[in-house]
Copies of this chain bind each other. A is one copy, B any other.
């Protein structure tokens, strides 16, 4: 097949939604000639992914349970490798050896006031062909819980985040020596046992309340997509905010001969035993609690009066694990670029699952595979990227981002030298494009989103996202949404394979995926399978195709640019907002402490306490000192100046002049300027100083994390120190940007 007629017909096909080639598309970082060529190749690329292929790959990949260590996990990796090779790609499997505990004993029973033994099992659903593969399914458990055998009174702690324990203090309830029961939600699950242990609890149960993703949200499986009574959310409880990846090899690749910590020295295992359960198992436990009625915001959707405890309810929790080493299989394919083979654009999505994982992660995996196939096709048509594309299909994401972290750690130096961008995806659904990542890529990814057609609405996904944001926005924000040329992208915390790339290595990163019309409650259960996905999610795979189109367009558009299309004005503006936020945070905390102290003095707490209920007033607190935000302000000012200078220079630059290569080499390292080798306080692995997952949120992002968390946790001296550090980082970053600008001028 010839290229030209093919492209012409495609242009005809897509002409309505997208600018026709004849209209001289303007692409950031492209000379007009390059933009023309790129446009034509992109149109061809986006026509290639096939919904039928996505369907077929998913059916194959999710046909059996394929968690780390299972035969089908390895089998899938080999099948993906074979496919890559079949398409003509240069691919291989890279293996690591990681600690991965699996259950030997799981027992949960209530021993008083009456006896109840938890089922801890997800039954087969008639009509769902894979739900009954019990022999191969991982039991319901939380990976990296320690072993334990504890019996104690039970206390309900809501989400189990620090504020919840403050509330318990006000109710006069302590968890010291107790087993806590927390509901899923409100934080990443690994935070719950961590905070519980900090407060003296000796065991932790996590359950899925039907309010979060059960019948309260919608009809339950198999009648609807939501969590049935016995559905359990498995999941890792490794202390990932300290470091993700193999607990025994922090900072280095877990190769066969790597130097390993003893298990007892691994920092990221839990301090107390933890077990996830269904709401079917949770209801008798919660119903047996006495003590204060739970605060209104703590109540879920079970037909009981939620009480906090403690009381007569005593629970016995026994957990023993096989602390085995398992092999994980990352599949890596390389599409070599020219003339810049040493500038890498990396793409990843994991392939391992907790069970069958049709949604998580296979819906994303198959999109990545179709991108790779489409690029293989494009190569056959004569396309060759300017830079090297690396396609990675990670193993062991579910247990703690194992495959991506170990690979990133193993290739640390190369990646820091060569990687210009990492694009991640994970589970994908129907609806709206979600864009998150480094704000130096905000303009870039907005440009991509303008060129992707929404398969349901036949308008650019960018436009659909903009209109959706308008529909939800408070009135004060609508004007910006209508006028700003880019939609703001979210900052990244953690929860998927981008973590090592952005947080540890300082590589500019994007995370992409569709969703919002795909509610459900099968997350990390046996019911996340092909039957569920094809009945309740993107069953015709049109959003799977859209994801392949979006991420693939971003990959090739970054790879083919004359000047790497970073932008620093949006980045500087965004960090300016973070700077304002942390200053406001200090003010709010200071005002709150002043007000609370005043109320204590006025007797508000004693006057309003119901004498028939226990009510403990909060302790008076020392008024926070004023902080010196000047170093941060200076850094922000320098960053803003540099960004503006670079922007002007980039707009004027002749993109075909020889010096461009040197500028690109500098640009690749600009995001690295935001890291510090000794990382964040108490967690040196996290080097990025602008973005990090919260120490007490787990997945939720904290921007300017050093400063923000010091203020949140009232470590005022540390806050002042962190402001100085971040200020210096911003000045260093500004210098890097100025340097790149100088290269263009």
Interface residues of A (CB under 8 A from B): 210, 215-220, 224, 226, 293, 299, 301-305, 430-431, 456-457, 459, 463-464, 467-468, 470-471, 475, 478, 517, 591, 595, 599, 602-608, 610-612
Contact A303–B302 (Cβ < 8 Å) = yes
Given A478-B595, A595-B475, A218–B604 Cβ distance below 8 Å?
no
Look across to chain B and name the residue whose beta carbon is closest to the beta carbon of A517.
B610
B-side contacts of A604, CB under 8 Å: 467-468, 470-471
Contact A303–B215 (Cβ < 8 Å) = yes
In Å, the complex CA distance between A476 and B174 comes to 34
Contact A608–B468 (Cβ < 8 Å) = yes
In Å, the complex CA distance between A612 and B606 comes to 54
Q: Can you give 11 contacting A-B residue pairs, CB < 8 Å?
A: A210-B303, A219-B293, A219-B305, A299-B301, A301-B301, A464-B608, A467-B607, A470-B599, A471-B605, A475-B591, A517-B610
Contact B517–A468 (Cβ < 8 Å) = no
B-side contacts of A603, CB under 8 Å: 467
B-side contacts of A217, CB under 8 Å: 305
Contact A303–B305 (Cβ < 8 Å) = no
Which residue in B463, B610, B612 is a CB contact (below 8 Å) of A607? B463
B-side contacts of A430, CB under 8 Å: 610
Contact A224–B607 (Cβ < 8 Å) = no
Contact A299–B216 (Cβ < 8 Å) = yes
Which residue in B216, B305, B471 is a CB contact (below 8 Å) of A224? B305
Given A210-B303, A478-B595, A218–B293 Cβ distance below 8 Å?
yes
B-side contacts of A220, CB under 8 Å: 305
In Å, the complex CA distance between A224 and B613 comes to 14
Contact A218–B305 (Cβ < 8 Å) = yes
Shortest CB-to-CB span from A306 to chain B, Å, is: 8
Q: How many copies does the complex hold?
A: 2
Shortest CB-to-CB span from A35 to chain B, Å, is: 28
Given A216-B305, A218-B293, A591-B475, A607–B468 Cβ distance below 8 Å?
yes
Give the residue among A459, A605, A607 with the most B Cβ atoms within 10 A.
A607
Given A607-B459, A612-B517, A470–B602 Cβ distance below 8 Å?
yes
Give the residue among A226, A464, A604 with the most B Cβ atoms within 10 A.
A604
Shortest CB-to-CB span from A208 to chain B, Å, is: 14
Beyond known contacts A467-B602, A517-B610: 9 more, CB 8 A cutoff: A216-B305, A302-B303, A431-B610, A457-B606, A459-B607, A464-B608, A468-B607, A475-B595, A478-B595
Shortest CB-to-CB span from A620 to chain B, Å, is: 16
Contact A471–B293 (Cβ < 8 Å) = no
In Å, the complex CA distance between A475 and B304 comes to 34
B-side contacts of A591, CB under 8 Å: 475
Shortest CB-to-CB span from A567 to chain B, Å, is: 27
Contact A215–B304 (Cβ < 8 Å) = yes
B-side contacts of A611, CB under 8 Å: 456
In Å, the complex CA distance between A712 and B510 comes to 47
Contact B303–A607 (Cβ < 8 Å) = no
B-side contacts of A610, CB under 8 Å: 430-431, 517
Give the residue among A220, A456, A467 with the most B Cβ atoms within 10 A.
A467
In Å, the complex CA distance between A595 and B602 comes to 45
In Å, the complex CA distance between A387 and B478 comes to 61
B-side contacts of A215, CB under 8 Å: 303-305
B-side contacts of A303, CB under 8 Å: 210, 215, 301-303
Given A216-B299, A299-B216, A305-B224, A608–B471 Cβ distance below 8 Å?
yes
Shortest CB-to-CB span from A636 to chain B, Å, is: 28
B-side contacts of A456, CB under 8 Å: 611
B-side contacts of A605, CB under 8 Å: 471
Shortest CB-to-CB span from A609 to chain B, Å, is: 9
In Å, the complex CA distance between A464 and B610 comes to 12
Which residue in B301, B459, B471, B607 is a CB contact (below 8 Å) of A457? B607
In Å, the complex CA distance between A464 and B604 comes to 8
B-side contacts of A595, CB under 8 Å: 475, 478
Shortest CB-to-CB span from A460 to chain B, Å, is: 10
In Å, the complex CA distance between A595 and B473 comes to 12
Given A219-B293, A301-B303, A608–B467 Cβ distance below 8 Å?
yes
In Å, the complex CA distance between A459 and B457 comes to 65
Shortest CB-to-CB span from A605 to chain B, Å, is: 8
B-side contacts of A299, CB under 8 Å: 216, 301
Shortest CB-to-CB span from A145 to chain B, Å, is: 30
B-side contacts of A612, CB under 8 Å: 517
In Å, the complex CA distance between A210 and B602 comes to 37
Look across to chain B and name the residue whose beta carbon is closest to the beta carbon of A293.
B218
Look across to chain B and name the residue whose beta carbon is closest to the beta carbon of A472.
B608
Shortest CB-to-CB span from A468 to chain B, Å, is: 5
Look across to chain B and name the residue whose beta carbon is closest to the beta carbon of A592.
B475
In Å, the complex CA distance between A459 and B611 comes to 14
For the complex of A and B, list the 3 residue pairs with the smallest distance between their C-beta atoms, beginning with the closest: A467-B607, A303-B303, A517-B610
In Å, the complex CA distance between A457 and B607 comes to 7
B-side contacts of A467, CB under 8 Å: 602-604, 607-608
In Å, the complex CA distance between A168 and B215 comes to 21
